[in-house]
């Protein structure tokens, strides 16, 4: 029968890599917690209206990239293309904004966009995102950017640059839209059909169209920074001031408009040139109108999301030293049926105590079991034969040192635990002293 392949633009995460992802994800969530963000989980699919209203019906994401379908009940459903709209919907729906503010939410989610796949651009991808709702202070913008930058520090990422911009508020945008319209009208014949449609409704969206001809024209367009109202200007100045105080280097890039409609005032991106054309690893900004747009009160908010596939590419490019994958604590080699039954019981006792214990479930020879135990990196082995069962005593071998200790069957779990903890402690101590010697030398 013909083999079935994973859909284009999706990736399987195999065991050889999944432990790295687990490490990265738990590190990200822990950094989030240290900044006060708590995890939120929302459904992978939402009502299509949520994204049409939240992300904006003139964006590339909504117009061209959404996975939308009718369910069996005739509802229009969309796989989430991003995490912010769902997070805001959940916050409004569950009255989370009635509690003490700011509300700080974090998430790890899969997202779906029908884009042309290439390195760092997938149709199913993953984001670590955070949303902070209930604050209009520019200090919140600066601290959020600082948080993002601390993530890269935590992974020792070098050569990543922070680009910031302000895209104003609906007040200053009215003037800007007029200027943009005038500019693009002069080039209307060269715009793609989607952008011709955007000219009336939302000319800012032409600025991030991926069509090469539109891109070329957009390059000469007026920039929003020249049109900011006093309030937006003041906000942006303060964000920059706080970033300077926090010693976070940034570049002002007046061409950043972001691809989603909800943004107001500060927007930012962390960009790397180490991972090819899709260099934006993290993007975010303020979205002061979104909560109200989605049926909540008028609550200012901001957030960011980081593409995990892009972060992994960056870590691989920088030869990041991931902690080693976990290996079994003990492998029970058994000779014969009776021994295998004993192995089953002992391993069960140890796994109940939180150890990773394995037994032979393939019916291999003793030699092959030993070879396998070595291959999977078991820290200890115990060989069980008929004699051992008769004597009621087992040898436990430390595979690194070759040392062996004895245990009776009844006290096996306790003996193993004591031996294991003593060994780990000794190892940690010797790592510590080795480190000291290296430092001194």
Contacts to ligand HAM by CB under 6 A: 82-84, 113, 115, 120-122, 125, 127, 129, 131, 259-260, 280-285, 303-307, 309-310
**8 A C-beta contact, residue 99 and residue 143:** no
Between 119 and 376, CB nearer to ligand HAM: 119
- Shortest Å, Cβ 72 to ligand HAM: 28
Between 109 and 407, CB nearer to ligand HAM: 109
Length of the chain: 441
Whose CA is closest to 291, among 142, 125, 101, 140? Answer: 101
- Shortest Å, Cβ 340 to ligand HAM: 47
Between 125 and 152, CB nearer to ligand HAM: 125
CB neighbourhood size of 287 (10 A): 26
- Shortest Å, Cβ 85 to ligand HAM: 8
Between 63 and 415, CB nearer to ligand HAM: 63
**8 A C-beta contact, residue 229 and residue 168:** yes
- Shortest Å, Cβ 68 to ligand HAM: 16
- Shortest Å, Cβ 310 to ligand HAM: 4
Between 187 and 198, CB nearer to ligand HAM: 198
Between 227 and 262, CB nearer to ligand HAM: 262
Between 47 and 338, CB nearer to ligand HAM: 47
Between 84 and 369, CB nearer to ligand HAM: 84
- Shortest Å, Cβ 78 to ligand HAM: 14
Q: Which residue is nearest to ligand HAM (CB)?
A: 307
- Shortest Å, Cβ 440 to ligand HAM: 43
- Shortest Å, Cβ 257 to ligand HAM: 11
**8 A C-beta contact, residue 185 and residue 287:** no
Between 196 and 255, CB nearer to ligand HAM: 255
- Shortest Å, Cβ 218 to ligand HAM: 17
- Shortest Å, Cβ 429 to ligand HAM: 41
CA distance linking residue 64 with residue 72, whole number of Å: 23
CA distance linking residue 299 with residue 135, whole number of Å: 7
Q: Which residue has the tokens 């991926």?
A: 210
Between 278 and 338, CB nearer to ligand HAM: 278
CA distance linking residue 286 with residue 169, whole number of Å: 10
- Shortest Å, Cβ 117 to ligand HAM: 8
Supply 127's token pair.
């984001």
Rounded to whole angstroms, the maximal C-alpha distance in the chain is 94
Between 306 and 373, CB nearer to ligand HAM: 306
The alpha carbons of the chain give a radius of gyration, in whole angstroms, of 28
**8 A C-beta contact, residue 239 and residue 142:** yes
């Amino acid at each position: 029968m013909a083999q079935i392949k994973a859909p284009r633009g999706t990736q399987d995460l195999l065991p050889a890599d999944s432990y790295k992802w687990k490490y990265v994800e738990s590190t990200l969530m822990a950094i989030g917690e240290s900044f006060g963000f708590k995890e939120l989980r929302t459904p992978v699919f939402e009502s299509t209206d949520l994204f049409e209203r939240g992300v904006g019906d003139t964006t590339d994401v909504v117009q061209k990239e959404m996975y939308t379908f009718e369910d069996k009940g005739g509802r229009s459903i969309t796989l989430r293309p991003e995490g912010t709209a769902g997070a805001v919907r959940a916050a409004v729906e569950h009255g989370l904004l009635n509690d003490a503010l700011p509300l700080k939410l974090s998430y790890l989610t899969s997202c779906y966009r029908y884009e042309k796949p290439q390195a760092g651009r997938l149709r199913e991808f993953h984001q670590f995102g955070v949303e902070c709702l209930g604050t209009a202070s520019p200090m919140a913008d600066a601290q959020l950017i600082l948080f993002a930058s601390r993530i890269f520090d935590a992974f020792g990422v070098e050569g990543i640059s922070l680009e910031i911009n302000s895209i104003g508020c609906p007040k200053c945008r009215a003037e800007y839209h007029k200027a943009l319209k005038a500019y693009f009208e002069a080039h209307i014949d060269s715009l793609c059909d989607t952008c011709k449609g955007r000219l009336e409704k939302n000319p800012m969206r032409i600025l991030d169209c991926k069509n090469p001809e539109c891109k070329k024209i957009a390059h000469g367009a007026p920039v929003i920074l020249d049109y900011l109202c006093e309030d937006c200007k003041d906000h942006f100045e303060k964000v920059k001031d706080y970033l300077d105080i926090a010693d976070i280097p940034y570049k002002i890039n007046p061409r950043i408009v972001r691809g989603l409609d909800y943004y107001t005032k500060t927007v930012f991106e962390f960009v790397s040139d180490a991972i090819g054309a899709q260099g934006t690893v993290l993007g975010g900004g303020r979205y002061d109108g979104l909560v109200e747009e989605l049926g909540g009160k008028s609550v200012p908010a901001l957030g960011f999301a980081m593409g995990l596939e892009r972060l992994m590419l960056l870590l691989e490019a920088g030869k990041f030293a991931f902690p080693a994958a976990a290996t079994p604590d003990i492998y029970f080699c058994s000779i014969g049926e009776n021994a295998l039954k004993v192995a089953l019981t002992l391993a069960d006792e140890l796994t109940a105590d939180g150890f990773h214990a394995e037994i032979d479930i393939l019916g291999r020879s003793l030699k092959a079991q030993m070879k396998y135990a070595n291959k999977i990196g078991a820290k200890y082995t115990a060989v069980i034969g008929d004699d051992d069962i008769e004597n009621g005593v087992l040898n436990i071998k430390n595979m690194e040192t070759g040392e062996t200790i004895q245990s009776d069957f009844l006290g096996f779990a306790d003996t193993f635990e004591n031996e294991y903890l003593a060994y780990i402690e000794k190892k940690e101590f010797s790592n510590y002293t080795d480190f000291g010697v290296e430092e001194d030398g």
